Each structure stands twice: as structure tokens, then as C-alpha cells.
Amino acid sequence: MENKVILITGSTDGIGKQAALEFARKGATVLIHGRNPSLGKTVLSEIRKASQNDNVLLYIADFTSLKQVRQLADDILGKNAKLDILVNNAGVYMPRRQLTEDGFEVTFAVNHLAPFLLTNLLLDLLRKSAPSRIINVSSMAHQGARIDLNDLNSTERFDAYDAYSKSKLANLLFTFALADRLNGSSVTVNALHPGVIATKMLRAGFGSMGGRPVEDGAARIAYLVNTTGTERVTGKYFVNDKEQASSSQSRDSKLQNQFWAISEKMVGLSA
């Protein structure tokens, strides 16, 4: 992993933090991201000390703000000559419907719109750094979800688990549509289910429900980051380090393209 530059969103806690630590220990330059400056500085110090690697850098952005997502992209582009790996890991589980400053339902905004915008803003750098990889952390929760293009903001009906599962389906629609758009390039994009991991988000959604250690979730990310044999794999969904068929709706190419166009408008990438 030496000479590799890796950005992991949502890496001041849980799976993202563990993955950042492990990549730092392997000698990578790791760009960690969080929304809380105080916590971010604490985690930055912890990872640098535990890994004996000073090439760990902190970026702050609240994913409920598209303005801050754009600023994050600008900061990364301004300070890094290359980006080998982007791990879209940041996510939330919201028990009640809330809106962002941009007027979007928070679960949908943080789990889909923010990584959609960030990835598109960093694509030129990823292409310049090719061969490079994009890894989207989805979830098996997508299997029971259905996307209603007329109610992406959950205005008609809001259920916490339904909103979360739809956002994870959104991750897959984005993954597959992006893989098609990157076809023929040396930038790959894949999605994964990290497992049911004992994180703050799991506790927020399911209380005292148990989960596997964060090391297990980080290992699923590591598999797609640096395992020999995955270099040219793209447009796939992984569970336990194996390709698995995702839901039929996630593989609907017409829906993928419709959803992409709507997402572009929502984040201001198209008129």
C-alpha cells in the first residue's frame, strides 16, 4: 500500500476508522474524513500514533451540506496530486425524518447524494491516477427496498429502516451506472455489504442488537482495495469477499440511468 493515496469517508468512527488505521499501518497515505473537528483531531492523533505513519491527513465536512461536500472536494483536489482509492463509507441511520439545509431527507442526502456528488467531483483526479478504485459501502438491507423516483425525499411516507434500505439501494444503482460510464477506463467501481457490524449506526437503528467486530467490516473493504485479482473487476456487488447478485431493481439499467439524471439535478451537476 506504500505510495497509495486513499480517501475514506466517515472514518472517525466504526468500520471507516478501523480501515483507515489498517491502511496507515501498511504505509498508505490515508485521507480521513469526519464532520466533527474535535473528534477528527483526536482520531487523527490516534491513527498516526498507532500506525507510526504521519501521512494521515484529516478533512472535515458535514455530508448534510452539499456546499461542504463541494468544499471537501476542492480541498482534496488542491492538496493531493493523485487519488488511488476512494472508499465511500460515510452513512447514517435516522430514526425520524429530518431535512438538510438543501431541503433533502437526511438519510438520502448523506448516504447517497453526498457520495454521488463527491465521487463525480473527484473523477478527473481518479482518472489521472489510474489504475484506481472506487468502493461504495452498501448493505444487504437494499434487498427489500424499492425506489420511488417521485418520492425520493420520503415526503409521502417515512420509515427509518425503509429510508435506510432505499439509500443502500441507491448506492448500488449509483455503482452500476458509474461502472457503465467508466467502461474502458482504468477506474473500477464496486459495492459491498460489510456485514452486520457493531457500530454506532447499528446501535442507532437496532439498539442492543449484536454485531461483528469492526475489524470484520474493515477486512471486507480491504479485500476490494488491495487483493490480487480484483484489479479489473468492476460493476459488481460483494458479500463476504464474493460476487453476489444484488436485487433485481438495482440491476435495472433504465432505472439506473433515470436515477442518475435525477441525482445530477439534485446536487447541481446538471440544470
Phi, psi of 54 (to 5 degrees): -85, -5
Cell numbers placing 125: 483526479
> In sequence order, what are the beta bridge partners of 58?
32
Beta strand 187-193 with 237-239 is parallel
Cell numbers placing 76: 482534496
DSSP H helices, the chain, are 14-25, 37-51, 66-79, 106-108, 114-128, 160-181, 200-206, 214-226, 253-267
> Is 161 among the catalytic positions?
no
Tally Cβ neighbours within 10 Å of residue 30: 30
Q: Which of 59, 164, 223, 237 is catalytic?
A: 164
Task: Report residue 153 CA to chain centroid gap.
Answer: 20
Under 8 Å between Cβ of 115 and 268? no
Sheet with strand 5-8: strands edge to edge = 56-60, 29-34, 5-8, 85-88, 132-137, 187-193, 237-239, 242-243
Termini Cα distance of the chain: 40
Beta strand 237-239 with 242-243 is antiparallel
Active site (catalytic) residues: 164
